């Protein structure tokens, strides 16, 4: 059966993994992870997104333990190079040695010889891109992955990658995974035209702005009241990153506009944000675009999937979201690393 959504949905497994690892692991019990995957598949979705860096590799290990192959899931993973040792990781680059090693680590952790889609998760501007693209092409010829993509790159870098691949006869990237939601639309003006020119699809992450587009956060919230380990926990590196990305007077002004309009229709903030992604964003199914959604519980995922399946927003709610973006536009965080 086909999913009952306008755009295909991918489950983002960043929250899966062992406790006390760097990053955003929230679902550390395998039975809870299994319940999440069960619900995802009951809604007729089958694609999973993970990364070598998620849970320090334990997200991939959990998916292997959950027997993703027997579940007939499609698996996507990524290699996040850390040339400056960011995210608490040892230094690794997009050179031939490290890239090949990380590819093999992912395949071993996932218990497979190949994945459907493999990404360069972040740029490494200390390594010549020609060296990176050669090893990517070699790994493709060795059938380590069926398709490949990039994430967090600048539009001009994507264009350069595609031109080099074309000139050298290398396999070209087919997907860009990037930040996109109702209050963060910076990809629309520059990146999207680039992707369309080179025939690349866009997979959107952060459709709820890391939980900002929900009823959880308010202007008067204090740092010390943040839930430990949450996306906006200022004591965590990722929490500080998310605060830098979203936590501002302008974004709270945008939330106020949304909340006032949504309340008139008995709607929640997250439902409005997800319906915007499905029906009012610039994503197009015919171009292969998809939306990535994560969850820390089965209930949360179930509610979000149901919201994705709902109809278009009313004109006044849509206008509130558009006005909110205009408020945020001038201070919006960059879409690339």
pLDDT at 22: 72
Tokens of 116: 């459907």
CB atoms within 10 A of CB 7: 20
Strand-pair partners of 148: 118
pLDDT at 24: 80
How many angstroms separate the CA atoms of 206 and 49, rounded? 13
Query: pLDDT of 226-282, one tens digit each?
Result: 888 788 989 888 889 899 999 999 999 999 999 999 999 999 999 999 999 999 999
Tokens of 46: 């089958």
How many angstroms separate the CA atoms of 134 and 98, rounded? 13
pLDDT at 248: 96
Query: pLDDT of 74-94, one tens digit each?
Result: 999 999 999 988 776 899 999
Residue 23 has pLDDT above 90, yes or no: no
Task: State how far Cα 232 lies from the chain centre.
Answer: 17
pLDDT at 28: 97
Of all residues in the chain, what percent are helix, strand and coil, respectively (each to 5)? 45, 15, 40
How many angstroms separate the CA atoms of 237 and 246, rounded? 15
| pLDDT mean over 25-46 | 98
Residue 12 has pLDDT above 90, yes or no: yes
Query: pLDDT of 276-333, one tens digit each?
Result: 999 999 999 999 999 999 999 999 999 999 999 999 999 999 999 999 999 999 999 9
CB atoms within 10 A of CB 38: 12
Exposure letters 152-176 (e unless 16+ CB within 10 A, then b)? bbbbebbeebbebbeeeebbbbbbb
Query: HSE on the CB side for 2, CA within 13 Å?
Result: 5
Residue 62 has pLDDT above 80, yes or no: yes
Name the nearest CA neighbour of 83 among 101, 68, 95: 95
Name the nearest CA neighbour of 276 among 148, 181, 137: 181
Name the nearest CA neighbour of 239 among 251, 261, 223: 223
pLDDT at 115: 99
| pLDDT mean over 179-200 | 99
Tell me if 116 sits within 8 A of 76, measured CB to CB.
Answer: yes
Tokens of 145: 């992955």
SS3 letters across 204-242: EECCCHHHCCCCCCCCCCCHHHCCCCCCCCCCCHHHHHH
Rounded to whole angstroms, what are the CA distances from 159 to 44, 127, 156, 199, 234?
Answer: 34, 17, 5, 11, 36
- Domains of the chain by start residue, with CATH: 9-218+273-312 (3.20.20.100)
Exposure letters 248-277 (e unless 16+ CB within 10 A, then b)? bebbbebbebbbebbeeeebbbbbbbbbbb
pLDDT at 1: 83
pLDDT at 8: 99
Residue with tokens 């619900």, as numbered in its chain: 39
Query: pLDDT of 106-145, one tens digit each?
Result: 999 999 999 999 999 999 999 999 999 999 999 999 999 9
Name the nearest CA neighbour of 47 among 104, 105, 1, 8: 8
SS3 132: helix
How many angstroms separate the CA atoms of 100 and 39, rounded? 34
Q: Write out the catalytic residue numbers.
A: 54
Tell me if 147 sits within 8 A of 117, measured CB to CB.
Answer: yes
Q: In the chain, pLDDT over 70 holds for what percent of residues?
A: 99
Strand-pair partners of 178: 204
- Give, as one character, the DSSP assignment of residue 146: E
End-to-end CA gap in the chain: 38
| pLDDT mean over 46-60 | 97
Q: Over the chain, what is the mean pLDDT?
A: 97
């Amino acid at each position: 059966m086909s999913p009952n959504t306008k755009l295909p949905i991918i489950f983002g497994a960043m929250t899966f993994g062992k406790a006390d690892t760097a990053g955003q692991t929230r679902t550390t019990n395998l039975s809870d992870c299994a319940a999440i995957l069960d619900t995802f598949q009951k809604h007729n979705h089958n694609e999973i997104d993970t990364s070598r860096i998620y849970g320090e590799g334990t997200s991939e290990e959990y998916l292997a333990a959950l027997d993703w192959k027997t579940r007939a899931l499609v698996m996507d993973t990524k290699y996040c190079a850390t040339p400056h040792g960011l995210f608490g990781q040892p230094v690794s680059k997009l050179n031939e040695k490290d890239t090949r090693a990380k590819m093999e680590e992912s395949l071993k952790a996932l218990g497979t010889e190949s994945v459907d889609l493999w990404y360069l998760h972040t740029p490494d501007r200390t390594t010549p891109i020609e060296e990176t693209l050669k090893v990517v092409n070699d790994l493709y010829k060795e059938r380590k992955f069926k398709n490949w993509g990039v994430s967090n790159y600048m539009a001009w870098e994507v264009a350069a990658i595609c031109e080099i691949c074309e000139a050298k006869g290398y396999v070209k990237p087919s997907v860009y995974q990037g930040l996109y939601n109702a209050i963060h639309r910076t990809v629309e003006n520059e990146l999207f035209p680039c992707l369309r020119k080179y025939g690349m699809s866009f997979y959107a992450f952060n459709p709820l702005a890391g939980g900002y587009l929900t009823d959880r956060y308010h202007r008067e919230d204090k740092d010390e009241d943040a839930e430990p380990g949450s996306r906006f926990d200022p004591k965590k590196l990722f929490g500080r990153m998310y605060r830098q990305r979203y936590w501002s007077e302008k974004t709270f002004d945008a939330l106020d506009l949304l909340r006032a309009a949504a309340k008139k229709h008995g709607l929640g903030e997250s439902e409005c944000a997800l319906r915007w992604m499905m029906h009012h964003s610039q994503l197009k199914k015919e171009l292969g675009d998809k939306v990535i959604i994560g969850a820390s519980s089965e209930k949360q995922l179930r509610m979000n999937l149901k919201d994705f399946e709902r109809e278009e927003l009313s004109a006044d709610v849509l206008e509130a979201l558009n006005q909110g973006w205009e408020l945020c536009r001038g201070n919006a965080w960059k879409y690339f690393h």
